């Protein structure tokens, strides 16, 4: 980042922002020579512009932003148990909230069966559109929490 005032230039480089260093160095050299005409500071310089190439922030472009309501641990555990059962995974297999159904070997039919078992276990009804967006244990647990809360409010 750069800030320019009448007779000072302040640079605050960020590791997330690419600044063409040779271009900045050349511009700084030019500004220094302009501001010290005949050994004195020159007040004639009233505007200066720096240019650099900006790249998007890798932390934002490389990852998908995700908002989650953080389901209760017991809900996540129940979902893990159901996924293990439906996919015939060994009881000692480790599942976590970020476990993807596809990486566990589930195809679309397996996912439908998992959702049907979740509906039965929790006494909820999952719309088809919502069921197609579930890809991880955490997403399933979050959706269940939301549907259970909505069901409780409706009664």
**Cα(36)–Cα(145) distance, integer angstroms:** 68
User: Angle at the Cα of 104 (from 102 to 109), degrees rounded to 5?
Assistant: 55
Contacts of residue 7, defined as CB under 8 A and 6 or more positions apart, other chains included, come to 35, 41, 43, 45
**Cα(138)–Cα(134) distance, integer angstroms:** 9
Q: Is 98 a catalytic site residue?
A: no
The single residue of 81, 107, 110, 142 carrying the catalytic annotation is 107
Q: Is the dihedral of CA 35, 37, 42, 48 positive or negative?
A: negative
- Known catalytic residues are 107
């Amino acid at each position: 980042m750069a800030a320019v005032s009448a007779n000072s230039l302040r640079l605050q480089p960020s590791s997330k922002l690419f600044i063409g260093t040779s271009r900045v160095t050349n511009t700084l050299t030019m500004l220094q020579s302009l501001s010290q005409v005949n050994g004195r500071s020159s007040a004639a310089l009233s505007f200066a512009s720096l240019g650099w190439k900006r790249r998007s922030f890798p932390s934002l472009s490389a990852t998908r932003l995700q908002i989650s309501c953080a389901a209760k641990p017991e809900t996540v555990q129940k979902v893990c148990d159901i996924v293990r059962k439906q996919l015939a995974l060994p009881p000692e297999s480790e599942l976590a909230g970020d476990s993807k159904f596809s990486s566990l070997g589930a195809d679309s039919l397996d996912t439908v069966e998992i959702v049907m078992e979740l509906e039965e276990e929790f006494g909820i009804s999952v719309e088809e559109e919502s069921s197609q967006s579930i890809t991880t244990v955490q997403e399933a647990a979050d959706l269940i929490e939301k549907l259970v809360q909505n069901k409780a409010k409706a009664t």
